[in-house]
Structure 1
Amino acid sequence: MSDIQTTTVSEDGFGSTSQVGEFDMAIDPLDETGPNPNAALVATYASCFLPALRVAGQQMGHDDLGTIQIDADADLDEDDDLTGIRFTIHVEADLAEDEIDEFVERGEDICHVHSALREGLHAEITVNAGAF
């Protein structure tokens, strides 16, 4: 038995609904009934990276990072294939300059989506410490 099972159904048109555990998620390449697959991937990547940063912070002795926000931007080529993803990360806690690189590296090691994507598509990351 696999660790993750999903079911994706499209009754007509291009949109589909995926059942992921007990959750339904609408995805539509035309952005009519839900986000398109590329947008869903970028959001999923950021949604995985954010808690990875919290764990990284805890490992570094920052038990309360406060609010963390990831603004993600992505680029598409003429075939609508993702060619780049950039994260701008805003952290309420005031991290020292020398801590930021370690913070990001640990987040990259912890985030499962980061590990799953091909190397050329990993996010370029900017951290704005003391942002809130």
Structure 2
Amino acid sequence: MKIAIGSDHGGFLLKELIKEYLENKGFAVKDYGTDSEASCDYPEFAQSVGEAVAAGEYDKGIVICGTGIGISIAANKIPGIRCALVGDSFSAKATRQHNDTNVLALGARVIGSGLALEIVDIWLGTEFEGGRHAGRVEKIGNIEKKYCK
């Protein structure tokens, strides 16, 4: 599986930890930045990761900022992206099973590194259930098509 990852300065250290963790597990990871804790703007990294996932260059994406809120909002502006801000294990599983999310957002200043790695493992290891959820995801796509012309 190929993973695109990106963060702003607030998520830089957690991004580096997750990137190394995933590479050690055999995932192909592309880092879209940032490359330091110097102040920068999260929308740039959300856009880079989101575009790479939406284009099919990467299977999934992970975006990280201080709270995860801003970067998730930005990622969700890209047609084809279903990004969920996750801060617990249950939601990590549910967002894949029910929403078929393709980008995970994390808040580095909100959760610890141990929980973040657990969330990443659960999120990457959970399949979309389809069934009744497929129709709901399709409806989300229809809303997107209506407003993203």
TM bucket (normalised to shorter chain) is under 0.3
Hey, which of these two has a bigger chunk of strand by percent?
Answer: 1
Greater Rg by CA = 1
Hey, which of these two has a bigger chunk of helix by percent?
Answer: 2
Task: Compute the TM-score of the two structures, normalised by the length of structure 2.
Answer: 0.24
- Which structure exhibits the higher relative contact order, with contacts defined as CA atoms closer than 8 Å and separated by 6 or more residues? 2
Task: Compute the TM-score of the two structures, normalised by the length of structure 1.
Answer: 0.26
